[in-house]
Structure 1
């Protein structure tokens, strides 16, 4: 639930920016209501991690979460209505902003703006009531749900704008499966280096969001055998909303090249990256790839034209279509959910501290396993 709110609040923020850019921000006072809706959703999101935790045992919290879910359904109904109106006008047959941003389309049409604005105002009143009720529960602000939950591998979806790094918290690793998977992937990468001399080969890790693809890729990235095999190692967090120029600039920096100014042209960045990688056996990790274009249109040419023979790419993604698009080697590596005991061990690591005795935590195992089951 919190993950849906997170994505929806980000979407509303993007729509607000589009409205302002198109000069329709004051139409019928609706943009102010949209702004309020975005603020309320972000505020409620900060409480929802705690609400989800307590939802398992507290019936009054369950009722509150149910009210918030129904409000979210209304919010998505509003967006669906805008999408339908955009389709009725046939705007999706051309690359018009209204096709890709249905809320923007509705705000450009006074008759639609009045109807949508009325529904948004009613929704804001509901969100006000839900927020007022939240005060009675004394929710703890756990911050970004994604930051906390994805770290324990129990989130089914990810934040399309999250950033990852090549290093990781080794104390948060549990179970034998991830060690076996790391060895298998490293062996596959190293064997590929012997079998294929010329082409840049791609290996893929596939799985739903938050299930541990990034952690597995981090372990491979930091493996001693990988470190000894490749003279250049590049970690790139790609995400859904990547910029070609930013991706190239980060690749240059990760590869040890000179930082380029933000206004650099894509062509000059291609050339700089090629010069940085020339004759270097390179290992590139592209984490959280949503679109094959990040490889085909941005990074492939510099690597193919400059990196030394035996260079390799590791892609993590939720979408097998992306894997097929980048022509990754078969078989793809699929990441599965943790077994309950490993998930419980990981959950304990997240909540144990010097003030909390592990024996006391173990008395809460039944509740912990319910949390694990609920979150998948």
Structure 2
């Protein structure tokens, strides 16, 4: 994600290097415009190989280190231009204030000159830019050793929080296991643990449909009628935070909480709210849980009516054992026919692959590479729906990303899907990665942040940023 921000930063940097304000500054400082033109040329050389570098970084640690050097150089260039722009704006405001008071005063570029030297340990701006050019030149030379090529790689054209909503039309398979789980949820027999609430776990690797299965159960018509209260909580954080989870449960069942509520108050509210009511709780994407955490979370739930249930999804069977799940379902991968069925629904108009005989055999090979993971099939099926050329499908099939190894267990199919976002959408999407996992985004605030970063561009000089705000969903694909 950070590399998309780098690409976005370079685009913004190019625009600022060509701005009238900077040209004024260069003229006032009596510097040669060739200096910044040379800086721009060096940045362009680096920018041209970013596509290739972004793809190869997943399999080549040296390329990843090279990208870190590029980021450092680009961010230093941004800092320099930010400082110049800030001081230039201050001088402009001072000049405007002087004119408003009836006195005329030209911009005091001498002040700018004196100021701009300060942040660089008494080095002149000219020497600072020359130093930056030398650094970029060295970086550009290293790209040859790393085998990075211009225009190569896939062309650029923290999991978000889950919700209980599901598109059942895009779900295939799992019918047998779903019926078995529904039957268990509707059972009001005495619970196996001797308490009024039992736990069932769905365990499996990332991307194999655990959350989707839990969503199907949660939204099953008979299940909805069977329980008095239901709550869907996406845990997701690798550190289980008992207070946050308890607050989320209370909000889901319509109970108010206050910022200064202690855990004791929260648990008393939860105990009272679920008392003698048949309660269904889904804890989605539990990563790690200590026995003490589970004991504390469970205490207020023990007052729920007989037949209450908890469904937990996790990649870790250890978490299921700590929660004393009476049933654990190890969710396997989709069969080849199921994978192909899901792919055709998403990749072909009307789900009809027969209408595209040139694409069908390529699509089947791509599906085989997804190894039965529903999330991988969905990601690439949705991506290929907008690509009608055989060459585009072959590029996906033959991409080096399939062979990449990452430290973060990112599915190669998801990397491919991300790499093929359009540049504006990619930079907006990547910007969201700076927020903590499960951060709740507010559309208007996020758009303002995109605007502040300079990510939104109308392509029309007579259109103000504020006027673009209403259309920014289309500009950045939100």
Query: Please, what TM-score do these two structures have when normalized by structure 1?
Result: 0.58
- 1:69 and 2:59 aligned: yes
Residue 226 (structure 1) shift: 1.5
1:195 aligned partner: 190
- 1:374 and 2:376 aligned: no
Cα distance between partner residues in 2 of 1:131 and 1:163: 38
Cα distance between partner residues in 1 of 2:232 and 2:223: 13
Cα distance between partner residues in 1 of 2:147 and 2:5: 11
The answer as to whether partners of 1:246 and 1:262 remain within 8 angstroms in 2 is no
Q: Deviations over 1:32-58 (max 9, x none)?
A: xxxxx7944999xxxxxxxxxxxxxxx
The answer as to whether partners of 1:289 and 1:317 remain within 8 angstroms in 2 is yes
2:242 aligned partner: 244
The answer as to whether partners of 1:238 and 1:247 remain within 8 angstroms in 2 is yes
Cα distance between partner residues in 2 of 1:363 and 1:214: 34
Match of 2:204 among 193, 207, 217: 207
Match of 1:217 among 204, 209, 214: 214
2:304 aligned partner: 307
Count of matched residue pairs: 254
Larger gyration radius, structure 1 or structure 2: 2
Q: Deviations over 1:149-168 (max 9, x none)?
A: xxxxxxxxxx5x53111110
CA RMSD, 1 decimal: 3.7
- 1:359 and 2:354 aligned: yes
- 1:267 and 2:257 aligned: no
Gaps in structure 1 of 5+ consecutive residues: 1-5, 10-36, 44-60, 79-120, 142-158
1:162 partner SS: coil
1:325 aligned partner: 322
Residue 187 (structure 1) shift: 1.3
- 1:183 and 2:179 aligned: yes
1:286 aligned partner: 283
Query: Please, what TM-score do these two structures have when normalized by structure 2?
Result: 0.46
Residue 185 (structure 1) shift: 0.7
The answer as to whether partners of 2:204 and 2:332 remain within 8 angstroms in 1 is yes
Cα distance between partner residues in 1 of 2:321 and 2:277: 27
2:339 aligned partner: 343
Cα distance between partner residues in 2 of 1:215 and 1:317: 13
The answer as to whether partners of 2:52 and 2:148 remain within 8 angstroms in 1 is no
2:60 partner SS: helix
Residue 364 (structure 1) shift: 1.9
Residue 208 (structure 1) shift: 0.5
- Name the stretch that deviates more: 217-226 or 234-243: 234-243
